[in-house]
Structure 1
Amino acid sequence: MFEDFTKYLRAGPEQPIPQPRPTIDSPPHLGPDSPRRPGTDPASHPGVPAGAAPRPVAAPLVPVRSASAAEPCPPVFRPAELPTHAPVIGNRIVAQPYPALSGQPLALPTLRADGGVLGGRWLAAASIAGLTHQADATTAQDSYCAGYSVDGSALVLAVCDGLGYREHTSQVGADLLARLCCAFAAWIVREQALGDGTEALIRAVEQANDRLVEMQRMHLPEWEPADLHCTVMLCRVPLTADGGPALFARAGDTEAFLLRNAQYATVFAPDADAGPTNVVKGPLPHQNPREVLQVTAVDLDADALILTTDGLAHDIFDSPGTREWLAARWAVPCGPHRMLDSLRYRRQSSHDDRTALVAWLRPWTGDEVDDAADLR
């Protein structure tokens, strides 16, 4: 075709335009007497004027259905979740609504988990927002932190629980106070711990308390110290036999347990006059933390140390099924996924946040890939 068109340009405009040659993509010219394909004859299209036959098409047109004629949308599928062996304890619980995220810029994640080696010991932690928080789209309020002393002689561990009457702000206090407590307790070296360790731990909590109030006044002047109210459990765990006893300080209803051969022991003796575990009498920050702090020193003759907030402590105290399940899960060190799955048990009256920080007290010697793979 290109060659014929070139000849036309050379011959001048008075010459007739050459007809295109048949090609694969261009069908041959059909004369008036040429046979037509079915459906291209004007007579086969009533209502079409003569001389205005429809343009031939290579394939029949596919009609487009209107939205009303479209197939119905598939049903909304439930979100997929990993299976769990966590039990249903006690009476079977009723169906719960799907979790709703808080959406607050200062909200804590609904789920958190950690696991790994710190100071030659294996640690694991997990926190799950309570069913009440998930149903009401409010933030979780628990936090945890783990570190070790500046001289490497001890671990420093903390858990905190923001109070419910400050549901939009107390989680900030819990998150900051857990870190501040560990930061100041990290400066307690071995000689101080062997001297007057409990006094050193009290001073660390006082410093954390004062720094939290200072940060609030400087950066959040529209808040009050009560907006950051939370409970706290802080402990210093020596890493050597000659490092002295473990030191504990708490304000509120957080708990510490020792686990040995599937048996639990509390670090702080239960107070018969204290009432339920979820009733708080002395949260931080406080004008005088010494007035609300409880302190003790304990020799750690156990397999594992467990720090918990009141939601999990309540289940351990009141539910034999929960105690058995957690003791079996924590009989060996847990990786972060197993640790989180440990808290997925279902219990009808358990609606508060569940948080646990577990330190296995025997020195960790597993340094091979195969050893780590066993902790899935």
Structure 2
Amino acid sequence: MTQVDKFKSKGSLNSKRKPKTFGHEAFDVLFDVPPRKKGAKGPPRSLNRRHNSFTFSNALLLRPKSVVLVLEMIKANDKAIREALKGLPRPYDDDFGDYEFPDPGNANRALVILDIAVIKTLGDSDTTSLLKLEPWAVEAGIQRYGKRYMHPADKAAIARHTKKLDEIYEDWTAWPSLPLPEPPQPKRPKGPSFEEQKFKPGQSGNSKGRPPKPKFDVPYPFLNETGLMEIDGQIYRLTRSQAFLRMIATATFSPDSSLPQTTAKLMMDITKERWQRPPTELPKYGERTPGQMDFSGCMEFLFMARKLNRMRACRRMVIQPWLVEMALDGLSEEPPLSLIEQKIVVEATRTPWKVKWPSYWEAAIPSRRKAAE
């Protein structure tokens, strides 16, 4: 026996399991029941699966009651998936939730350091805080806004985020201690080291693997089973519900169809619900309702700040350079800021190389070339 025959005898190529195919005929979408050997006892199918198989096979024969039942099953599955997706976080939700100041690189700390904003506590029992703009910063922003028309609802929103004289605010010293600067790390060569690339004992292949898809509890999971289907000479991977909808759509709208109008209505409802998207899913930049502004939106409306990466989870707010210059000129002490505070202000500035920093400034200012890199 040659080496090639030995290789073939192991069955490395022939032993690969062929993918489950639906084929190009409608009846190939039926449940796959593998043939059993004589005398072999396989696991018995449950009564529910037998009922689903019987209903699905009758629906493929275009029997009206079975078709309506399967379409209602598909509609129930889609509804369960939509309900499960409501609780998942979306990367495009424009709600910063950054009032607890977890990130020193965000603009909130720098706003308080530069006396552009103050901290207002909601209550003794509540640990969360809000930011309020100083009146001088609001006046500067309105002056920067110019003679453009401002909606009365926007004016009310700006007044809502402005500091009031009769409210109680916290002092800068009552804030949690700032983090110490990290010590400089020794330079290391690019890429992972040899020890990091080695497989650990009992480990092989891709250690991280492909991220799992979100699993949803649907009432009829057999409709989400996937398979290959040939459409116009091309092979596509479809779920059982997609293949069934494709077949029923052709049969429903044909002139000699015997299916009732309720089938067409169910088909249209399922297609509409699958394709329609909530209005907040794909927001367009610049479209907003007057008066509906949070603190960061108010600052951006007055050209005082800018949101970076607004559609991603790493989004943050940065201060415009003209406001940083005006705030630094208003600080009376010399030097009023420590080195840590200076680094926080530099990180929270949009284009720090455009700012005219005072003579006492010690923090490193990144150049425009480094920022582009």
| TM-score with structure 1 setting the length | 0.19
Asked which structure has the greater CA Rg, the reply is: 1
Higher relative contact order, structure no. (Cα contacts within 8 Å, ≥ 6 residues apart): 2
Higher-strand-fraction structure: 1
| TM-score with structure 2 setting the length | 0.20
